[in-house]
Homo-oligomer: A and B are copies of this chain.
Amino acid sequence: MGNRVRIKDIAAKVGVSTALVSYVLNGKEKEKRVGNELVKKIREAAAELNYQPNQIARSLRNGSTKTIGLIVADIAIPFFGQLARVIEDEAAKNGYTLILGSSDEDANKQNLLIDTLSHRQVDGLIIVPADGTSDQIAKLVKRGMPIVLMDRYFPELNVSHVCLNNYQASYDAVRHLITKGFQRIGMIAYQSGMIHMRERIGGYREAMEAGNFSKYIKIIEVPYHFTRIQTERAIEQFLSDNNEIDALLFATNSLTTAGLNFINKKGIKVPDQMGIVGYDGNEAFDFFYAPITIVEQPLNEIGTKSANALMDLINDPAKIIKYDLSHFLNIRNSSS
């Protein structure tokens, strides 16, 4: 703490100015033509005193913290945890460190996090934006903050993003179910105006129409909180309708989990009584008696592309990049 060694201490020990020490420790001894003898002495003194550079001071002076902020919905959700890990590694390769925040899909929390992180002078932000936060993002961009949106984006904003091609993913999932003979396919999604959810729903809808099953289109959107109970209610509602459903497309991992639990409880057999396709892999779905067919997202690609898009943006504010990546439909027993 108080005994921290500063450049000044090394300078004093060797008997030179702090400038020389800084040059040497930053590897600029050639460029700044520091004498060979002193280079050695400075290196030795730094090692001997166990000098640890103060990145805060350096950040203040350089105007760059080599830090990137990551705002996800909830780091406890494996999908985001895995993305965080990929981003962490990719950032580290380039000398960046991660500062973390979870928004709980809440606009106010997200706003607080953005403030906290930008006060900490992060060089850029990777954000999984919450519903209705287009203004927050727009304001940030106008202030000149490098931003990459991940998992979702705002079509009205010209901001970098790395997402799944959600429309295509849902479309393919439904096509697959139809191919397997399912017709009365229902969908359970989150109540959200965000594009990723609208596209997942849109893909479902259009695939149903393309299959001439418009009359069987049934979508229930549940709120983000109390997912479990709301999902149960949604399924109950599906079941109590005259036109029973014979398959379900779940728009996220947690909806799938909640749904399967309930389907199990009700004794509904998968896939005989109900075909199932979910989003985002999970070990849980491998252990289900009928392993679950999954729309898999390319996590590594999303993470690395997000990190690199941000670092590119930091170096060149004009470099706006938009990715809509492809899914992989991992077909298993639950849908055949």
Chain A positions within 8 Å of B, measured between CB atoms, are 1-3, 52-57, 59-60, 65, 67, 74-78, 80-82, 84-85, 88-89, 97-102, 115-121, 143-144, 257, 260-261, 264, 282-289
Contact = CB atoms under 8 A, between A and B. Distances in A.
Given A76-B81, A81-B76, A100 B102 contact: no
A54 B142 CA distance: 18
Given A54-B121, A78-B78, A102-B85, A286 B286 contact: no
A184 to B, nearest CB: 25
A120 B97 contact: yes
Contacts of A97: 99-101, 116-117, 120
Nearest to A289: B289
Contacts of A120: 55-56, 67, 97
| Chain multiplicity (copies) | 2
Contact of A65 (B56, B77, B286, B287): B56
Specify which of A59, A75, A115 lies most central, judged by the most chain B CB atoms within 10 Å of its CB. A75
Contacts of A257: 283
Contacts of A260: 287
A213 B116 CA distance: 57
A260 B77 CA distance: 22
A52 B114 CA distance: 11
Given A81-B81, A100-B98, A283-B282, A88 B75 contact: yes
Nearest to A74: B85
A192 to B, nearest CB: 21
B52 A118 contact: yes
Specify which of A100, A116, A118, A286 lies most central, judged by the most chain B CB atoms within 10 Å of its CB. A100
Contact of A84 (B3, B76, B89, B118): B76
Contacts of A2: 144
Contacts of A287: 260-261, 264, 284-285, 287-288
**Closest 4 CB pairs between A and B?**
A81-B81, A76-B85, A284-B284, A1-B144
A151 B60 CA distance: 36
Nearest to A57: B60
Contact of A75 (B85, B99, B143): B85
A284 B116 CA distance: 36
A76 B76 contact: no
Nearest to A70: B100
Nearest to A58: B119
Nearest to A256: B283
Given A74-B85, A121-B56, A99 B101 contact: no
A115 B261 CA distance: 45
A283 B99 CA distance: 28
A52 B116 contact: no
A85 B65 CA distance: 24
